Amino acid sequence: MLTYTLRRLLAAIPTLLLISLVIFLLVDMAPGSPLSEIPLTVPPEVRQKMIAAMGADQPVMVRYVLWLKQFFWIEPLYGIDALLGTDFAQGAQRIISWQSKMPVFRIIGERLPQTLTVVGTAYLIGILIALPIGIYSAYRQYSWFDQAGTFFAMAGFSVPTFFTGNVLILVFAVKLGWFPTIYDTNLKVTDFASFYKMVMQMALPVTVLALFNAAEISRYTRSSVLENLGQDYVRTARAKGMGEKVVVLKHVLRNSLIPVVTVIALGLPTVFGGAIVTENIFKINGIGAALIGAIHVSDLPTVQTVTFIFAVLIVLFNLIADILYGILDPRIRYD
Amino acid sequence: MPDGAVPVLDVRGLKTVFRTRAGEIHAVNSVSFHLKPGELLGVVGESGSGKSVTMMSLIGLLPSPPAEVRAGQVLLAGRDLLKVDAAELRQVRGAKIGFVFQDPMTSLNPVFTVGNQIMEPLLTHKGMTKAQARDRAVELLELVGIPDAAKRLKSYPHQFSGGMRQRVMIAIALACDPDVLIADEPTTALDVTIQAQILELVKELRQKLGMAIIWITHDLGVIAAIADRVMVMYGGQVVEHAPVKELFAHPQHPYTRALLKTIPSIHGARASRLQVIEGQPPILMAEPTSCPFRARCAHALEVCAHQNPLRHPVDSAALGLGHDVACHWSAQSAEVAHA
């Protein structure tokens, strides 16, 4: 397992390099200028100097290699320095946002916790809802519970989050006034009152994302459990006199989880993508909102870096899914 | 075994139907049989004759819906298994009645170790501690002839061959010292040499442990080798029942006779083609009011079309005790008529 993991990590390096190149070129080719926010009254020679100051006048390959060096070498050094209080980076040039002139990683560091809180909670709740629903739907196939579950899963999966999000805001925040419309990023949880406020402001975005995730995962769980319920080993377990709880929650579930875990692991990175939309609707100042903001003003370094981090996450969770597969299914051994 | 012994298992008038969209399928129709202690009862019949469904009905192993056991009694040591509640029935399954299934490749759970699966019924039914169950599991694996048992407990099913897995299945079925072992075509999915090994193993275990066995198969050769008594099933009912030697020597029912003819012979000239029974077994959408074999029977009489024959003893003094048949036509009368 360890050698397999190491081998996969090594194999990920060329993949990620290629992805980074494609992202870099694609983003670079996109129309737009980093100076679009600068007033037109600024004279051309000043504009020229501003572009040169950002390094945007360099050829794309030079910028790419510089970005690679900054991403894989200098930024990690800053990371180590921040953790251990050392000074390896020695003030080397970091990846700087063209928009805010701040290091991109500092922006990420500020924005990521919001995203993780909302998206992470939503995904966790989504899984916790989806697994029992999927299992029970399969166990009582074609029951009214199953029919209802199927209906909500179809609805939850086919209605996009930007629609459900707006509907929820309209109904529960605007009309009923139960929840705040704005997500307060600066809110710190210190006591029960602030915790309550946090829960209230998270409720709507988490609901939207959790429903969407639960819809997908519950369907996978249902079909996987259904497939396994018909297997011979289930009959064996019953013939041994095992109770239905043991039959379903031990024998069937362990087998059914194998494909479901893959879906969960592979779905996690795409949740970040889905969160971009939700963050914008609920005005959550997260990483997705930062990305959208950066795209609007052609802040190429930020767009490239954040997009590449998403790519890294996808590759990483692919690997995690494969390793989990091997842990859950003894027939799969990676040596 | 003494003939008057109290049966361990006594099944009376068992009826099982499957409810489908197309209507009810009467898979088991008034099946009665008994099993004496230490006895091996062979159940033969082609696919769809209701052999497996009958045995699974006994301990509620059929998924319900669509299956429904509609009538009958299943008396295990005097207790009617069709009347007890789910929890009590679970105490019987695995503890009093062990089950071995046809396909050992899929009958074991692929993600749990063999040890875990053998220990499960011990922990549930016998209330053993883990250590006790482990010791017992080692004992069982040794009993079914798996070498290096203690080590193999940690293996997963896919690390075993087909024959070894069937041995594991047998070990699981025997874990709690059941009174009855039901083996549903346990050698069908295995190749011939492994079949022979499993047969030997069962014979040996029977002598050692003395449980009664119900052996479902469509292989008459296997029946000849191990059974004490044979029950022939067709169309969800018992059409003939006799001690094994008697059945092979004096088959009465046309279906039994046809079945015996289908056994290819390795003796004599190779000229004859393989014998087959033409036609398909019936799918019974209603309780049969005529003989289910009628359409394929070479001796069908007029009475067969409007009366389903009941089982009646074969009434010749020359024939052994405990031979009964459900047929309007009688081999003797035909032979007499010919002579």
Domain ranges of chain A: 105-328
CA angle B299, B300, B301 (to 5 degrees): 110
Residue A325 has pLDDT above 90, yes or no: no
pLDDT of amino acid B316: 59
Angle between helices A192-229 and A161-168 (to 10 degrees): 140
Distance in angstroms (rounded) separating the CA atoms of residues B40 and B1 = 11
Which residues in chain B touch residue A246, judged by CB atoms under 8 angstroms apart?
A: 120, 124
- With CB atoms and an 8 Å threshold, state whether B120 touches A236: no
How far off is chain A from B223, nearest CA to CA, in Å? 24
Q: Which helix (H) or strand (E) holds A142?
A: none
Look at residue B330 and tell me if it is in a domain. yes
Look at residue B201 and tell me if it is in a domain. no
Residue A156 has pLDDT above 60, yes or no: yes
Kindly indicate the confidence band of residue A220, based on its pLDDT and cuts at 50, 70 and 90: very high
Distance in angstroms (rounded) separating the CA atoms of residues A73 and A110 = 21
Mutation site for A-interface testing, chosen from B53, B96, B109 by largest number of A Cβ within 10 Å: B109
Mean pLDDT of A230-257: 90
pLDDT of amino acid A56: 79
pLDDT of amino acid B318: 52
Residue % of chain B over a pLDDT of 90: 19
Q: Record the pTM.
A: 0.82
Mutation site for B-interface testing, chosen from A231, A240, A329 by largest number of B Cβ within 10 Å: A240
Tokens of B130: 């883990």
Kindly indicate the confidence band of residue B62, based on its pLDDT and cuts at 50, 70 and 90: confident
Complete DSSP assignment for B191-243: -HHHHHHHHHHHHHHHHHH--EEEEE-S-HHHHHHH-SEEEEEETTEEEEEEE
pLDDT in tens, B185-208: 888 878 888 888 888 888 888 888
Q: Measured in whole angstroms, how far is the alpha carbon of residue B53 from the centre of its chain?
A: 10
- With CB atoms and an 8 Å threshold, state whether B109 touches A251: yes
pLDDT of amino acid B337: 47
Buried/exposed B197-220: b ≥16 CB within 10 Å, e otherwise: bbbebbeebbeeeebbbbbbbbbb
Q: Which residues contact A9 (CB under 8 A, 6 or more apart)?
A: A319
Lowest average pLDDT, out of A46-55, A126-135, A301-310, B328-337, goes to B328-337
- With CB atoms and an 8 Å threshold, state whether A232 touches B93: no
Distance in angstroms (rounded) separating the CA atoms of residues B37 and A312 = 67
Give the A window 234-263 contacts with B, CB below 8 Å.
235-243, 246, 251, 254-255, 258
Mean pLDDT of A290-306: 88
How far off is chain A from B277, nearest CA to CA, in Å? 30
Residue B319 has pLDDT above 80, yes or no: no
Which residues in chain A touch residue B106, judged by CB atoms under 8 angstroms apart?
A: 231-233
**Out of A231, A242, A246, closest to residue B106 by CB:** A231
Distance in angstroms (rounded) separating the CA atoms of residues A210 and B40 = 58
Q: How many residues does chain A have?
A: 335
Task: Return the bridge partners of B80, or none.
Answer: B75
Average of per-residue pLDDT values in chain A: 86
Mean pLDDT of A309-325: 87
pLDDT of amino acid B285: 79
**Out of B103, B109, B124, closest to residue A241 by CB:** B124
Distance in angstroms (rounded) separating the CA atoms of residues B24 and B13 = 18
CB B328, CB B307: distance < 8 Å? yes
Tokens of A321: 């899914």
Kindly indicate the confidence band of residue B2, based on its pLDDT and cuts at 50, 70 and 90: very low
pLDDT of amino acid A218: 93
Residue % of chain A over a pLDDT of 90: 18
Going by CATH, does the domain composed of A105-328 fall within 1.10.3720.10?
Answer: yes
**Which burial class, exposed, middle or buried, applies to B157 when counting CB atoms under 10 A from its CB (0-12, 13-18, 19+)?**
buried
Mutation site for A-interface testing, chosen from B61, B120, B169 by largest number of A Cβ within 10 Å: B120
Tell me how many residue pairs between chain A and chain B have CB atoms under 8 A apart. Answer: 76
State the maximum Cα–Cα separation within chain B, in Å, rounded to a whole number.
Answer: 71
Determine phi and psi for A329, rounding to 5 degrees. Answer: -115, 105
Tokens 């492994």 belong to residue: B194
Q: Which amino acid would we find at residue A311? A: A
Q: Minimal CA–CA distance to A214: which of A132, A310, A114? A: A132
How far off is chain A from B158, nearest CA to CA, in Å? 7
CB B198, CB B186: distance < 8 Å? yes
Which of B59-68, B107-116, B257-266 tops mean pLDDT?
Answer: B107-116
CA angle A204, A187, A83 (to 5 degrees): 115
Distance in angstroms (rounded) separating the CA atoms of residues A238 and A232 = 10
How far off is chain A from B104, nearest CA to CA, in Å? 9
pLDDT of amino acid B332: 55
Look at residue B181 and tell me if it is in a domain. no
CB A74, CB A305: distance < 8 Å? no
Kindly indicate the confidence band of residue A22, based on its pLDDT and cuts at 50, 70 and 90: very high
Which residues in chain A touch residue B103, judged by CB atoms under 8 angstroms apart?
A: 232
Look at residue B242 and tell me if it is in a domain. no
**Out of B93, B111, B113, closest to residue A239 by CB:** B93
pLDDT of amino acid B270: 61
Q: Edge-to-edge strands of the sheet including B229-234?
A: B97-100, B180-184, B212-216, B40-44, B229-234, B237-243, B324-325, B312-313
- With CB atoms and an 8 Å threshold, state whether A241 touches B110: no
pLDDT of amino acid A27: 87
Q: Does residue A231 belong to the interface with chain B, where contact is any CB pair within 8 Å?
A: yes
Kindly indicate the confidence band of residue A327, based on its pLDDT and cuts at 50, 70 and 90: confident
Determine phi and psi for B70, rounding to 5 degrees. Answer: -95, -30
The CA-based dihedral angle spanning residues A243, A245, A250, A255, taken in that order and rounded to the nearest 10 degrees: 110
Closest residue on chain A to B175 (Cα) = A240
Q: What is the DSSP letter of B295?
A: G
Distance in angstroms (rounded) separating the CA atoms of residues B57 and B28 = 9
Closest residue on chain A to B101 (Cα) = A236
Kindly indicate the confidence band of residue B1, based on its pLDDT and cuts at 50, 70 and 90: very low
Residue % of chain A over a pLDDT of 70: 98
Range of B292's domain?
251-264+275-338
Determine phi and psi for A149, rounding to 5 degrees. Answer: -60, -45
Distance in angstroms (rounded) separating the CA atoms of residues B3 and B228 = 12
pLDDT in tens, A162-219: 888 889 889 998 898 888 877 777 777 888 888 888 888 888 889 988 988 899 899 9
Look at residue B255 and tell me if it is in a domain. yes
Look at residue B308 and tell me if it is in a domain. yes
Look at residue B49 and tell me if it is in a domain. no
Tokens 């009152």 belong to residue: A193
Q: Minimal CA–CA distance to A283: which of A105, A85, A118? A: A118
Mean pLDDT of B222-240: 90
pLDDT of amino acid A221: 94
| Interface confidence (ipTM) of the complex | 0.85
How far off is chain A from B121, nearest CA to CA, in Å? 6
How far off is chain A from B27, nearest CA to CA, in Å? 19
Look at residue B297 and tell me if it is in a domain. yes
Lowest average pLDDT, out of A14-23, A52-61, A191-200, goes to A52-61
pLDDT of amino acid A137: 92
Which residues in chain B touch residue A239, judged by CB atoms under 8 angstroms apart?
A: 59, 61, 93-94, 98-99, 101, 173
Mean pLDDT of A301-309: 90
Average of per-residue pLDDT values in chain B: 84
Domain count of the fold of chain B: 1
Residue A260 has pLDDT above 70, yes or no: yes
Q: Does residue A227 belong to the interface with chain B, where contact is any CB pair within 8 Å?
A: no
Coil, helix or strand at residue A106: helix
Residue B183, CB half-sphere, CA atoms under 13 Å: how many? 33
Neighbours of B63 (CB within 10 A): 14
- With CB atoms and an 8 Å threshold, state whether A241 touches B61: no
Q: Which amino acid would we find at residue A184? A: D
Mean pLDDT of B18-34: 87
Residue B103 has pLDDT above 60, yes or no: yes
